[in-house]
Amino acid sequence: MPSFPRSALAPLPFLARLAAIALMLALGACATTPREVPPGQFVERSVVVDGGTHRYQVFVPSRQVAGKHPPTVLFLHGSGERGSDNQRQVDVGLGPFVREHARTFPAIVVFPQSAEGTSWTGTQARVALAALDASIDEFGGDEDRIVLTGMSRGGYGVFELAIMEPRRFAALIPVCGGVTQPPALKERLQLESVALAPDPFLAAAQKLQKLPVWAFHGGKDDVVTPDQSRHLVEALRSLGGNVRYTEFAELGHNSWDAAYATPALWTWAFAQERKGGLF
């Protein structure tokens, strides 16, 4: 057998060992480290409406979870979150729920903020709709799956915007909202679009009857009393409306945490789709 110098033989086992180690590391990484889905993110944006600049926030979901054209949720906050800090509207209501489920929530969520002392009417309604349009355009939302939700004053706003733009939304989720002035509330709060009707609840129901609605309320709410939701649901049902109602018997005004955590809610909401020629 021919004789080879030891230096010529040494590199072969060394390189073989290196290759084996590299292969084991690669296989181990594939076996033990699954690809993580990044969470969705909150981003800040602004729109110009009626000559003023209005800031808002948007939750942009993970594309791995939501797909190319996800549904979009427009959230209208309550009285306590009004202002111009562009923060309070994501700290109460839907914002904390979405933040907690940022890895799995499969929808774009738009969070406009209304000015101090205002309701979701006039300029504030136009701001919300402009923020919605801008978010759908920028992040590729599905225009046939837009869900409108809000709490307290924002629950009234759900009905205001839906009456303004009935062909725009696929589903409505009012939480502790209403139609007429709550007796215990000193500040003005009513559904302005039907305020002068002989029966405001029936008038609202006639305008909303073709939209899927899931309303929520606390049975012990002493701010916006539950009869507000009960009367509207009754009126919608009398007209054959597609309406669900959940009343949390032991809850007061804060029924939004329980509402947004209802397991079946988002499955139902994202299954709704805007129908062409609805009205």
Q: What is the chain's mean pLDDT, rounded?
A: 90
Q: How many CA atoms lie within 13 A of 45 on its CB side?
A: 25
The predicted-structure confidence for 148-165, as pLDDT tens digits, reads as follows 999 999 999 999 999 999
In a domain, 29, yes or no: no
pLDDT reading at 96 higher than 70: yes
Question: What are φ and ψ of residue 172, in 5° steps?
Answer: -120, 135
pLDDT at res. 146: 98
Task: Quote the DSSP letter at residue 80.
Answer: G
The predicted-structure confidence for 120-147, as pLDDT tens digits, reads as follows 999 999 999 999 999 999 999 999 999 9
The predicted-structure confidence for 3-61, as pLDDT tens digits, reads as follows 434 444 444 455 555 555 555 555 554 443 446 778 999 999 999 999 999 999 999 99
pLDDT at res. 1: 42
In a domain, 28, yes or no: no
pLDDT reading at 226 higher than 90: yes
Average pLDDT, integer, range 79-84: 97
* Distance in angstroms (rounded) separating the CA atoms of residues 251 and 20: 63
In a domain, 30, yes or no: no
The predicted-structure confidence for 176-217, as pLDDT tens digits, reads as follows 999 999 998 999 999 999 999 999 999 999 999 999 999 999
- Which CATH number do you get for residue 92? 3.40.50.1820
pLDDT reading at 66 higher than 70: yes
pLDDT reading at 276 higher than 70: no
The 8 Å CB, 24+ separation contacts for 267-270 are: 268/171, 268/214, 268/244, 269/71, 269/73, 269/147, 269/171, 269/173, 269/214, 270/71, 270/106, 270/107, 270/145, 270/147
* Distance in angstroms (rounded) separating the CA atoms of residues 161 and 171: 12
In a domain, 21, yes or no: no
In a domain, 177, yes or no: yes
% of residues, the chain, pLDDT over 70: 86
pLDDT reading at 257 higher than 90: yes
Measure the N-to-C terminal CA separation of the chain; round to a whole number of Å.
95
In a domain, 156, yes or no: yes
- Look at the chain and report how many structural domains it folds into: 1
The lowest-confidence range among 63-67, 173-177, 269-273 is 63-67
In a domain, 143, yes or no: yes
Q: Which structural domain range is residue 230 located in?
A: 41-271
